[in-house]
């Protein structure tokens, strides 16, 4: 991804609208081709230098900061011609989520205006922007979206090459194509299996992974290791129950929060001694179920501990799903907590960007169960996976095979 050392905003004058543009096309893995495409074009109208206005969009901050200045800049930018769309997309690199939206809406307002006026889009530049994988992933998808709305066939021809694209939404389009192809090949199982395995390897979105796994398993009788595909953490140490009467356990600091000693015994709820126990789940979605070792309980708190061996220092995302109140610590540092009970759970419900250190990293999860008695409040569980910001699994270097179903919820007192 391109970076602008002095400012997140590129110098529009230096990057805008040459009469001849040299664009490097990042290699498409499947095609294994590296080439440079020289695109010649003439823009109908040159864009003005909107770098100051784009800087205003990029300056919006918390609690409404910068909105007034951004609105004035937005009006000036959107008065620009179609050629202004490219500098806007370029400025998205490194922009905040709010600034991205200011820029997106500006680009789309220009697009809408120019279409109504019957003006041509800068399709060659948009295509070059789309194909340059160093550009912002979401901005590239917008370029794709704009192109798909005007030259459908030409844009569709680019889709198969996006199967390994770093932009998740672009990759999603390509994976959708492979899923459709795999479905059409089901009469020839091995061909379909190969197509769908390629799709599975490329897929990053949960719904697509689920759809592919279902086809492979149910239609083609192939095995799919979903926990590894997603990067769920399957082997843990659990301890509990501690008290959570009146939901007070969420804020109470129990011994595991101060120090994790897997050999230690602690005083749990009602004065009973509790110890760490090893636990492995074979659930497709890595569900860690406190009720399995501890039996269904109410108004209790449990902790889960595991370790993750990182190949090096790396940025990853911890993606957690939990319908109980929860807290999480990485290497002893508190990351986030949430005191919501039984409003729902899904994969990637909470996304926490973190930096793993090389080697051993520790993870501690606290999960609190409340007092509700309805049948939909029995669950006392969570799921946690480690992945990159596209959703691709990042696996511990010492990851063990996914537990077999008979290993599920194996209970054993820790050594």
Binding positions for another protein, rule: CB under 8 A? 60, 62-65, 67-68, 70-71, 74-75, 78, 97-98, 100-102, 104-106, 108-109, 112, 138, 172, 205, 207, 323, 336, 338-341, 343-346, 349-350
Taking the alpha carbons of 269, 301, 248, 250 in that order, is the dihedral positive or negative?
positive
In the sheet that holds 300-310, the strands lie side by side as 333-338, 325-330, 359-369, 300-310, 235-243, 277-280, 412-413
Distances (CA, A) of 410 to 235, 282, 298: 10, 10, 22
* Distance of closest approach, residue 344 Cβ to another protein, in angstroms: 4
* Paired tokens of 236: 């843990």
* Distance of closest approach, residue 317 Cβ to another protein, in angstroms: 14
Distance between the two ends of the chain, CA-based, in angstroms?
Answer: 47
* Distance of closest approach, residue 247 Cβ to another protein, in angstroms: 10
Give whichever of 22 and 68 is closer to another protein, judged by the CB atom.
68
* Distance of closest approach, residue 205 Cβ to another protein, in angstroms: 6
Give whichever of 235 and 327 is closer to another protein, judged by the CB atom.
327
* Distance of closest approach, residue 71 Cβ to another protein, in angstroms: 5
Element (H or E) spanning 377, and its range?
A: none
What span, in angstroms and rounded, lies between the C-alpha atoms of 307 and 311?
13
Give whichever of 106 and 280 is closer to another protein, judged by the CB atom.
106
What span, in angstroms and rounded, lies between the C-alpha atoms of 114 and 137?
24
Q: Are 23 and 128 in contact (CB under 8 A)?
A: yes
Q: Are 387 and 318 in contact (CB under 8 A)?
A: no
Nearest-10 Cα torsion for 111, 116, 119, 123: 40
Q: Which residues contact 12 (CB under 8 A, 6 or more apart)?
A: 47, 49, 50, 51, 54, 87, 90
* Paired tokens of 14: 């230096």
Q: What DSSP designation does 382 have?
A: E
Give whichever of 109 and 124 is closer to another protein, judged by the CB atom.
109
Give whichever of 277 and 381 is closer to another protein, judged by the CB atom.
381
* Distance of closest approach, residue 54 Cβ to another protein, in angstroms: 14
* Distance of closest approach, residue 116 Cβ to another protein, in angstroms: 9
Give whichever of 100 and 260 is closer to another protein, judged by the CB atom.
100
Give whichever of 113 and 399 is closer to another protein, judged by the CB atom.
113
* Distance of closest approach, residue 41 Cβ to another protein, in angstroms: 27
Across-strand partners of 236? 279
Give whichever of 74 and 232 is closer to another protein, judged by the CB atom.
74
């Amino acid at each position: 991804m391109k970076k602008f050392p002095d400012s997140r905003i590129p110098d529009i004058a230096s990057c805008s609208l040459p009469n001849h543009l040299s664009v490097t096309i990042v290699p498409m893995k499947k095609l294994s081709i590296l080439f440079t495409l020289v695109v010649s074009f003439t823009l109908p109208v040159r864009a003005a230098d909107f770098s100051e206005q784009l800087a205003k969009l990029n300056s919006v901050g918390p609690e409404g900061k910068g909105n007034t200045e951004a609105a004035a800049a937005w009006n000036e930018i959107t008065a620009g011609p179609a050629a202004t769309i490219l500098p806007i997309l370029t400025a998205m690199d490194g922009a905040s989520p709010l600034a991205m939206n200011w820029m997106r809406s500006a680009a789309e307002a220009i697009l809408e205006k120019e279409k109504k006026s019957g003006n041509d889009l800068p399709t060659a530049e948009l295509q070059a922007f789309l194909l340059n994988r160093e550009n912002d992933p979401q901005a590239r998808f917008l370029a794709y979206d704009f192109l798909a709305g005007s030259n459908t066939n030409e844009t569709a021809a680019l889709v198969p090459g996006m199967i390994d694209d770093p932009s998740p939404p672009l990759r999603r389009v390509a994976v959708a194509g492979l899923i459709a192809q795999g479905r059409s090949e089901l009469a020839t199982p091995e061909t379909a299996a190969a197509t769908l395995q390629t799709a599975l390897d490329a897929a990053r979105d949960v719904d697509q992974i689920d759809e592919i796994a279902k086809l492979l398993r149910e239609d083609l009788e192939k095995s799919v290791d979903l926990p590894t595909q997603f990067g769920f953490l399957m082997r843990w140490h659990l301890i509990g129950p501690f008290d959570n009467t009146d939901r007070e356990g969420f804020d109470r600091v129990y011994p595991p929060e101060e120090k994790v000693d897997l050999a230690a015994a602690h005083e749990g709820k009602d004065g009973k001694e509790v110890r760490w126990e090893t636990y492995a789940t074979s659930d497709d979605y890595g569900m860690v179920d406190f009720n399995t070792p501890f039996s269904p309980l109410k108004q209790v708190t449990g902790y889960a501990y595991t370790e993750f061996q990182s190949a090096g220092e790396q940025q990853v995302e911890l993606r957690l799903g939990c319908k109980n109140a929860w807290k999480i610590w990485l290497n002893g540092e508190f990351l986030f907590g949430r005191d919501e009970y039984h409003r729902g759970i899904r994969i990637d419900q909470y996304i926490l960007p973190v930096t793993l250190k090389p080697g051993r990293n520790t993870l501690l999860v606290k999960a609190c169960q409340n007092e509700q008695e309805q049948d939909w409040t029995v669950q006392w569980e969570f799921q946690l996976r480690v992945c990159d910001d596209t959703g691709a699994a990042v696996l511990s270097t010492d990851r063990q095979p996914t537990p077999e179903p008979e290993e599920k919820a194996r209970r054993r007192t820790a050594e």
